[in-house]
Amino acid sequence: MKPKIHPKYQTCTAHCACGNTFTTRSTMAKINVDICSACHPFFTGKQKFVDTAGRVEKFSKKFGGTYSFQKTATPAGASAKK
């Protein structure tokens, strides 16, 4: 490694938005994070409800509420083409 070109790797403190702090190593002296393992739903096991009703209403308005993924039944007497 060339001398004097690499940044100093030091102990730093990371602060989460939830108030949790932990110590790690980085080239930065202080790190601010939005989410950490103490408040992330994957690590805590708590699910956060995300409101998607607005998207469903927009979809229903766009297609008139008649759009479905079910196949329609073939009329009786109609034969299948071979």
Contact 21, 14 (CB under 8 A): yes
39 is a domain residue? no
How much is the pLDDT for 13?
94
58 is a domain residue? no
Domain holding 2, by residue range, is 1-31
**Structural domains of the chain, count:** 1
- 56: three-class secondary structure by DSSP: helix
Q: 46-75 as b/e, with b when 16 or more CB fall inside 10 Å?
A: eeeeeeeeeeeeeeeeeeeeeeeeeeeeee
Helix, strand, coil percent content, the chain, rounded in steps of 5: 20, 20, 60
pLDDT in 10s for each residue of the chain, 82 residues: 788 899 999 999 999 988 899 999 999 989 998 888 888 877 777 776 655 567 777 777 888 766 566 666 666 666 656 5
24 is a domain residue? yes
52 is a domain residue? no
- Statement: the pTM of the whole predicted model exceeds 0.85: no
